[in-house]
Amino acid sequence: MRALVRTDANAQARTRYAQVKFTLAQAAIEAGKNRSTLLRAIKNGKLSAEKQDDGSYLIDSSELFRVYDAQGTPMQMHQPAQGMHKQTQQTAQGELIDALREQIDLLKAQVAREQEQADHWRNQATMLLTHQPETPKAEPPNRSRLYEKLFGRK
Protein backbone atom coordinates (compact mmCIF):
# COMPACT_ATOMS: atom_id res chain seq x y z
CA MET A 1 0.00 0.00 0.00
CA ARG A 2 2.83 2.35 0.85
CA ALA A 3 4.45 1.80 -2.56
CA LEU A 4 1.18 2.73 -4.27
CA VAL A 5 0.95 5.97 -2.30
CA ARG A 6 4.51 6.89 -3.27
CA THR A 7 3.83 6.12 -6.91
CA ASP A 8 0.67 8.27 -6.85
CA ALA A 9 2.50 11.12 -5.15
CA ASN A 10 5.32 10.82 -7.64
CA ALA A 11 2.92 10.88 -10.60
CA GLN A 12 1.17 13.95 -9.17
CA ALA A 13 4.51 15.69 -8.69
CA ARG A 14 5.52 14.92 -12.28
CA THR A 15 2.31 16.32 -13.74
CA ARG A 16 2.39 19.35 -11.43
CA TYR A 17 5.99 20.25 -12.33
CA ALA A 18 6.12 19.38 -16.03
CA GLN A 19 8.97 21.34 -17.68
CA VAL A 20 9.93 23.17 -14.44
CA LYS A 21 13.52 23.71 -13.31
CA PHE A 22 14.43 24.00 -9.66
CA THR A 23 17.35 25.62 -7.94
CA LEU A 24 19.31 23.36 -5.63
CA ALA A 25 17.47 24.68 -2.56
CA GLN A 26 14.03 24.32 -4.21
CA ALA A 27 14.87 20.81 -5.39
CA ALA A 28 15.96 19.86 -1.88
CA ILE A 29 12.60 20.99 -0.50
CA GLU A 30 10.61 19.19 -3.21
CA ALA A 31 12.58 15.95 -2.82
CA GLY A 32 12.66 16.14 0.97
CA LYS A 33 16.44 15.92 0.96
CA ASN A 34 19.28 18.10 2.14
CA ARG A 35 21.07 20.38 -0.33
CA SER A 36 24.34 18.57 0.32
CA THR A 37 22.72 15.24 -0.56
CA LEU A 38 21.54 16.57 -3.91
CA LEU A 39 24.90 18.23 -4.59
CA ARG A 40 26.69 14.96 -3.83
CA ALA A 41 24.28 13.13 -6.21
CA ILE A 42 25.09 15.70 -8.92
CA LYS A 43 28.84 15.35 -8.41
CA ASN A 44 28.61 11.53 -8.41
CA GLY A 45 26.61 11.59 -11.65
CA LYS A 46 23.42 10.12 -10.18
CA LEU A 47 21.49 13.35 -10.79
CA SER A 48 22.07 15.61 -13.78
CA ALA A 49 21.82 19.38 -13.51
CA GLU A 50 22.75 22.50 -15.46
CA LYS A 51 25.52 24.56 -13.90
CA GLN A 52 24.88 28.29 -14.23
CA ASP A 53 27.50 31.01 -14.77
CA ASP A 54 27.31 32.01 -11.12
CA GLY A 55 28.07 28.40 -10.02
CA SER A 56 24.52 27.50 -8.99
CA TYR A 57 22.66 24.50 -10.37
CA LEU A 58 19.28 24.19 -12.11
CA ILE A 59 17.69 20.77 -11.86
CA ASP A 60 14.92 19.72 -14.22
CA SER A 61 11.84 18.44 -12.36
CA SER A 62 11.69 15.26 -14.43
CA GLU A 63 15.33 14.55 -13.58
CA LEU A 64 14.74 15.21 -9.88
CA PHE A 65 11.71 12.90 -9.74
CA ARG A 66 13.53 10.27 -11.80
CA VAL A 67 16.01 9.86 -8.98
CA TYR A 68 13.91 10.83 -5.92
CA ASP A 69 10.21 10.47 -5.44
CA ALA A 70 8.07 13.20 -3.91
CA GLN A 71 8.70 11.94 -0.33
CA GLY A 72 12.45 12.07 -0.82
CA THR A 73 13.31 8.38 -0.90
CA PRO A 74 15.37 7.16 -3.83
CA MET A 75 13.32 5.32 -6.43
CA GLN A 76 14.04 1.65 -7.07
CA MET A 77 14.54 1.92 -10.83
CA HIS A 78 17.71 -0.13 -11.06
CA GLN A 79 16.55 -3.31 -9.35
CA PRO A 80 18.09 -5.79 -11.85
CA ALA A 81 21.38 -3.94 -11.78
CA GLN A 82 21.43 -4.15 -8.00
CA GLY A 83 20.89 -7.91 -8.20
CA MET A 84 23.79 -8.23 -10.60
CA HIS A 85 25.88 -6.03 -8.34
CA LYS A 86 25.12 -8.30 -5.39
CA GLN A 87 26.10 -11.35 -7.44
CA THR A 88 29.37 -9.69 -8.50
CA GLN A 89 29.99 -8.66 -4.91
CA GLN A 90 29.38 -12.22 -3.68
CA THR A 91 31.80 -13.56 -6.32
CA ALA A 92 34.43 -11.04 -5.25
CA GLN A 93 33.89 -11.95 -1.61
CA GLY A 94 34.25 -15.66 -2.46
CA GLU A 95 37.54 -14.98 -4.24
CA LEU A 96 38.73 -12.91 -1.30
CA ILE A 97 37.82 -15.72 1.11
CA ASP A 98 39.76 -18.24 -1.01
CA ALA A 99 42.81 -15.96 -1.12
CA LEU A 100 42.65 -15.43 2.64
CA ARG A 101 42.42 -19.19 3.24
CA GLU A 102 45.52 -19.73 1.10
CA GLN A 103 47.34 -17.08 3.08
CA ILE A 104 46.28 -18.70 6.35
CA ASP A 105 47.65 -22.06 5.15
CA LEU A 106 50.96 -20.45 4.19
CA LEU A 107 51.20 -18.74 7.56
CA LYS A 108 50.46 -22.00 9.39
CA ALA A 109 53.25 -23.72 7.46
CA GLN A 110 55.63 -20.87 8.28
CA VAL A 111 54.75 -21.05 11.98
CA ALA A 112 55.39 -24.82 11.95
CA ARG A 113 58.83 -24.29 10.33
CA GLU A 114 59.71 -21.59 12.86
CA GLN A 115 58.62 -23.89 15.71
CA GLU A 116 60.83 -26.70 14.39
CA GLN A 117 63.77 -24.33 14.11
CA ALA A 118 63.20 -23.01 17.64
CA ASP A 119 63.12 -26.59 18.96
CA HIS A 120 66.37 -27.37 17.13
CA TRP A 121 68.19 -24.36 18.61
CA ARG A 122 66.76 -25.06 22.07
CA ASN A 123 68.18 -28.59 21.87
CA GLN A 124 71.56 -27.22 20.70
CA ALA A 125 71.68 -24.79 23.65
CA THR A 126 70.77 -27.56 26.09
CA MET A 127 73.49 -29.82 24.70
CA LEU A 128 76.09 -27.06 25.01
CA LEU A 129 75.07 -26.14 28.54
CA THR A 130 74.92 -29.69 29.88
CA HIS A 131 77.96 -31.04 28.00
CA GLN A 132 80.85 -31.92 30.34
CA PRO A 133 83.93 -32.90 28.44
CA GLU A 134 86.04 -35.78 29.74
CA THR A 135 89.01 -34.67 31.75
CA PRO A 136 92.16 -35.86 30.04
CA LYS A 137 94.41 -38.22 32.01
CA ALA A 138 97.65 -36.70 33.06
CA GLU A 139 100.30 -38.03 30.72
CA PRO A 140 103.93 -37.48 31.25
CA PRO A 141 105.34 -34.72 29.14
CA ASN A 142 106.45 -35.82 25.74
CA ARG A 143 110.22 -35.89 25.54
CA SER A 144 111.98 -35.70 22.31
CA ARG A 145 114.14 -38.54 21.08
CA LEU A 146 117.17 -36.29 21.31
CA TYR A 147 116.68 -36.07 25.05
CA GLU A 148 116.55 -39.84 25.27
CA LYS A 149 119.69 -40.27 23.25
CA LEU A 150 121.62 -37.79 25.34
CA PHE A 151 120.53 -38.93 28.74
CA GLY A 152 119.64 -42.50 27.98
CA ARG A 153 116.40 -42.50 29.77
CA LYS A 154 112.99 -43.04 28.65
Across the chain, the runs of DSSP E, i.e. the strands, are: 21-23, 50-51, 57-60
Residue 105's pLDDT band (boundaries 50, 70, 90)?
very high
Give the phi and the psi of residue 17 in degrees, each rounded to 5. Answer: -110, 35
Mean pLDDT within 105-131: 92
Strand locations in 61-120, DSSP E?
none
pLDDT tens by residue, 60-72: 888 888 888 765 4
Range of the domain at 47: 6-67
The residue count for the chain:
154
pLDDT of residue 20: 80
| Same domain, residue pair 98 and 60 | no
Q: Identify whether residues 62 and 104 lie together within a single domain.
A: no
Is 19 in the same domain as 40?
yes
pLDDT digits (tens, 9 = 90+) for 138-151: 666 666 677 777 77
pTM for this predicted structure: 0.38
Mean pLDDT of the region 125-134? 80
Q: Tell me the average pLDDT of the chain.
A: 78
When divided into structural domains, the chain yields a total of: 2
